[in-house]
Amino acid sequence: MTQIALPLAWAADARDAEFLVTPSNSAAVAMLDRWATWPVRTAILAGPARSGRSLLGRIFATRAQATVIDDAATLPEATLFHAWNAAQERAAPLLLIADEVPPAWAVTLPDLRSRLMASPSARIGPPDDALMTALFEHGFARRGLDARPELIAWLVARAERSHAAVIATIDRLDQAALAGRRRLSIPLARETLTGETPDDHATLIDQRERNP
């Protein structure tokens, strides 16, 4: 796993300037790395909210002196049409960021639709195990929480494969640890995330041992 970073001036916390590259997002990174070979001067980057898509766009803007439009699918079609044409005229890269790639956008302007379909695109996928591990490690570290490797492995094996779910899980465990004045642990995570108490878990293990 590698990472690319912005100048620290972009972020209040240096850890916010890190974009971790794993197989789940490497195609998107590769597309931006090869911007000089795009058939047109515009490309589309898609990915779910909190996937790092905006951060990757900011890195690209800095490195390629590019224009980046976030949440592009929500903007007026005329705005996107003129931005696309302007990028070609200036021979300067334009990156459009959205939840999905066309044709998922509901584009009614035929000229814009044809331009978007001619633009290269890539999507940030659900985080793989390597990225899930890194997201948990960085998320807990940012809050000054001591999350042991065995806890992170337990969470990675059970958490929903999404960036937003990782953040929500960290939020819940942070609050639970603070409220109970307890350290982060697998028993705390089990109670917080599944409602299962240590006694319940011991009973379940005992039942499994008696009835293999």
User: What confidence tens digit (pLDDT) does each residue in 101-121 have?
Assistant: 998 998 999 999 999 999 999
User: What confidence tens digit (pLDDT) does each residue in 164-193 have?
Assistant: 899 999 999 999 999 999 999 999 999 999
Residue 196 is predicted with a pLDDT of 64
- For domain 2-123, give the CATH superfamily: P-loop containing nucleotide triphosphate hydrolases (3.40.50.300)
Q: Is 94 exposed, middle or buried (0-12, 13-18, 19+ CB in 10 A)?
A: buried
Residue 104 is predicted with a pLDDT of 93
Residues forming beta bridges with residue 18, ordered by sequence position: 5
Residue 50 is predicted with a pLDDT of 84
* Cα torsion through 98, 104, 105, 110, rounded to 10: 130
Nearest to residue 56, comparing CAs of 99, 23, 20, 92?
Answer: 20
**Alpha carbons 28 and 101: distance in angstroms, whole number:** 12
The CB-based long-range contact list for 157-161 (8 Å cut-off, 24+ gap) reads 158/193, 159/132, 161/126, 161/127, 161/132
Residue 208 has pLDDT above 50, yes or no: no
Residue 49 is predicted with a pLDDT of 84
Which pLDDT band holds residue 19 (cuts at 50, 70, 90)?
confident
Within 72-128, where are the H helices? Answer: 77-90, 110-117
Full-model pTM: 0.77
Assigned token pair, 196: 């299962």
Residues 6+ apart with CB under 8 A from 89: none
Of 2.60.120, 1.10.8, 3.90.550, 2.60.40, which CATH number belongs to 129-210? 1.10.8
Residues 6+ apart with CB under 8 A from 131: 1, 20, 22, 24, 25
Q: What is the mean pLDDT of residues 12-28?
A: 71
Residue 200 has pLDDT above 50, yes or no: no
Residue 42 is predicted with a pLDDT of 98
**Alpha carbons 212 and 207: distance in angstroms, whole number:** 8
Helix (H) or strand (E) holding 21: strand 18-21
**Alpha carbons 123 and 26: distance in angstroms, whole number:** 9
Q: What is the mean pLDDT of residues 83-102?
A: 96
Kindly report the average pLDDT of the chain as a whole number.
86
**Alpha carbons 19 and 52: distance in angstroms, whole number:** 7
Residue 197 has pLDDT above 70, yes or no: no
Q: What is the mean pLDDT of residues 4-27?
A: 58
Q: What is the DSSP letter of 179?
A: H
The letter for the amino acid at 166 is V
Instruction: Sketch the domain layout of the chain as residue ranges.
Output: 2-123, 129-210
